[in-house]
Amino acid sequence: MAQKTSPGGSSKSWQGRLAADTDAATAAFVASLDVDRRLWRYDIVGSVAHAQMLSEVGVLTTGEFAEIRAGLLSVADDLEAGKLDMPLELEDIHMVVEKALIDRIGPVGGKLHTGRSRNDQVALDLRLWARDAADALRTGIVALQKALVGLAERSGQIVMPAYTHLQRAQPIVAGHAVLAYVEMLQRDAERLADARTRIDVCPLGSGAVAGTSLPLDRARTAELLGFPRFSRNSIDATSDRDFLAELCFCCALLGVHLSRWAEDWILYSTTEFALLELSDAYCTSSSMMPQKKNADTLELIRGKSAAGVAHLTGLLTLLKGLPLAYNRDLQDDKRFAFAAVDAMQASLAVAAGVAGTTKFRAESIAASLDKGFLDATSLAEYLTLKGVPFRQAHHVVGSLVAQAEREGRSLAELPLETLQAACDRVGPDVREHLGAAHVVRRYAPDGAGGADQLRKQLDFWKKALES
C-alpha cells in the first residue's frame, strides 16, 4: 500500500472538497517545484501588484496591503538567500510563497489570493518570465553579432572561396561570409522582438476560467506590471500558451542558425579547409592523440540546436489535444520552455567568445586560392559583356575549365591564344577578369561579395548594433 502524506498547512485550505490525503507517489507526481521554483521573483512581483490593485479598489485596506507587501518582500529575501523551506506537498512555487506569507503575517496573508486563481497567476508568471527571456536572448544575439562584425572588420578583406554544395564556387572577401551569419541572427532578434508583442499581455484578473464578481481593475494591474494591454477573454487567457510556443520556435530557429554557423567553422578550421584558426580557449585535445585540436565548443553548440527543435516539438505536442480551458498538462509547459531558452542562452554566450577570438588563416587561404576555378563565372560574364549569349559563354568557359584541368593550370595561366581560340571575342583585357583578386574587385551590385560592398555593410552594422 502506498504511504500517505498530508499536504499540511495552507495547501490543505484550498483542497476543502477533497477528504483523502494524497499518497506519496502522487504528491511527487503532481509537484512542479523542481521546475517552477525559478519563477519566484515573478510570483512575488505579480502578487505585490495584485495586492496593490486590490487596495486601490477597496477590497483590501491600505494597512492590509502594507502588511502583505512587507511580508512578500520578506519571503523574497529568504528565497534569494535560499533559506525558505519548500516542502513537496505544497506542489508549486505559488503555494510556497502563499504559505510562507501566511506563516509570517497571519490570516491577512490569506486575502492575497482574493480574485485570483493559480490559473491566471501562473499564466502571468510565465509571461513575465518569457518577456525577460526574449530580451535576454536578444541581448545575447547582439553580443554575438558585434563579435562577428569585429572579425569582419579585422580580417574581412582577405579573399577566400565561397561554397555551394560544399564545393568552391566564387571568390569573396572573408567579411562577406562572416556577415551572412549576422544577417541570420538579425532575423532571430527581430523575430523575438515581434514575439514579445504577443507575450506582453497581462492575463491577471481572468481567474480560473470566467473571471470574478469582484471589482478588479485589470488595466491598473497591467500598468503596475508594465504590460501595455490585458487579455480580452478569460478562457483564452488562462489556457493560452501560444506565446511560449512562439518563444520556443524562436529558440529552435536560432539554434538552427547557430548550428549552421558552427558546422561551417568546424569544417573551416580543419586541416583540409585551413581557412580559420580557433582559439585554444574554445577547443580541447584528445585523451589519446596529442596532436589533436578539436572544436568541441562548436560541436556542442551544433548539438544544442537539437534541444531547441525537440523542446518546440514537445510543447506543441503537449498543447495539441487540450480542451478549453486550463488543464494540468500545462504544468509541464515550463519544462520545455525553460530548457529551450537555457540552451540558447548558453550557446550564445560561448558563441560570442568563439567569434571574438577566431582568426582567418590568410597565408593558407592565399596558397590554395587558385584551386577550383573560382573565376570561371567571371570569365563567362566577361564574354557576356562582349556580346556572347550567356548560355554560349557558359559552354565556352566550361570547355576551357576542362582543358585547364587536363593541363594542370588555372584559367589565368592559360595563354591568351588558347582563350581566343575558344572565343574570338576575347581580348587582352580578359586578364582583368581572371584570378580571385580581380574578380572580387569587379563585383558590382549592392550585397555582393566584394570589398566595396563589405565597407558599406560594415558601416551599416556598426551603426545598427550600437543603436
Q: Report DSSP state, residue 330.
A: G
DSSP string for 137-181: HHHHHHHHHHHHHHHHHHHTT-EEEEEETTEEEEEEEHHHHHHHH
Catalytic residue among 6, 279, 285, 286: 286
Query: Could you tell me if 332 and 31 are in contact, meaning their C-beta atoms sit under 8 angstroms apart?
Result: no
Q: 170 exposed, middle or buried (CB, 10 Å; 0-12, 13-18, 19+)?
A: buried
CA 352 to chain centroid, in Å, comes to 13
CA 131 to chain centroid, in Å, comes to 13
Residue that is written with C-alpha cell 568541441 in the block = 296
List the grid coordinates of 245: 510556443
Beta strands in 315-442 (DSSP E): 359-360
C-alpha span between 123 and 438 (Å, rounded): 60
Query: Could you tell me if 56 and 217 are in contact, meaning their C-beta atoms sit under 8 angstroms apart?
Result: yes
Q: For strand 22-23 and strand 4-5, is the pairing parallel, antiparallel, or unpaired?
A: antiparallel
3-state SS, residue 449: coil
Alpha-carbon dihedral sign for residues 165, 169, 173, 179: negative
CA 413 to chain centroid, in Å, comes to 48
The verdict on whether 231 is a catalytic residue reads: no
C-alpha span between 134 and 189 (Å, rounded): 9
Catalytic residue among 74, 165, 176, 394: 165
List the grid coordinates of 363: 597565408
C-alpha span between 18 and 14 (Å, rounded): 9
Using only C-alpha atoms, what is the Rg of the chain?
Answer: 31
The verdict on whether 165 is a catalytic residue reads: yes
Query: Could you tell me if 38 and 335 are in contact, meaning their C-beta atoms sit under 8 angstroms apart?
Result: no
Q: For strand 201-202 and strand 229-230, is the pairing parallel, antiparallel, or unpaired?
A: parallel
What kind and span of H or E run contains 229?
strand 229-230
Residue that is written with C-alpha cell 532571430 in the block = 188
Give the residue numbers annotated as catalytic, written as ranges: 165, 286
